Amino acid sequence: MTRDTLNIAFRFLFLVLLQNLILNNIYFFGYINPNLYLLFIFLYPIETKRTNFLFVSFFLGLTIDVFSNSGGINAGATVATAYLSLPILKILLNSQDTDFKLFKLSNEPFLKILVYVSLLTFIHHIFLFSFEYFSTQQIGMILYKAFTTSCFTIVLIVLSIYLSKKNIATNQ
């Protein structure tokens, strides 16, 4: 096992445990539940095989679903988010190349990080709450919950990216 693989496995385990043991028990205003496990998708190395990324993302969502007893909605939303991450990243970076070996999210300017994280988080929450309500009559509630939950999740993810960036800079 390489060091990168161990880092990915540790990050996976840490975020799953953090989400299921702590964050799934937090509900601000009765319904806003932060989904910090999405950080795994944002920090996953882009140069790896796409099918591996989608499989690991599915497994991440499925693990969250098993602990949350949510019937697969996190798995579906997480795979959709992982699938859309590369096309959105290509649009943001104005690049048609598939060579992202030098790309690290923490090295990008704040605005690009914020836009990338915001778009994917909102997409994830749209899928998540659409699967939860599964009704076009509830579109207002889906959008409302997706927006409010996304705002809180985006703040946590961006803070986490910058905190990990500072830790990396001080360790070198």
85: CATH: 1.10.1760
Burial class (CB in 10 A: 0-12, 13-18, 19+), 64: buried
Structure tokens at 17: 């445990």
| pLDDT at position 172 | 46
| pLDDT at position 99 | 55
| pLDDT at position 97 | 55
| CA 152-150-7 angle, 5° bins | 80
pTM: 0.87
Low-confidence ranges of the chain (pLDDT < 50): 98, 169-172
| CA 60-35-135 angle, 5° bins | 90
In this predicted model, what pLDDT tens digit does every residue of 121-152 receive, in sequence order?
999 999 999 999 988 888 999 999 999 999 99
Q: Which residues are CB-neighbours of 64 under 8 A, at least 6 positions away?
A: 16, 19, 20, 37, 70, 74, 75, 78
Side-chain-side CA neighbours of 118 within 13 Å: the count stands at 11
Q: Where in the sequence is the domain holding 9, given as residue range(s)? A: 3-171
What is the phi-psi region of residue 29: left when phi exceeds 0, alpha when psi lies from -120 to 50, beta otherwise? left
Into how many domains does the chain fold? 1
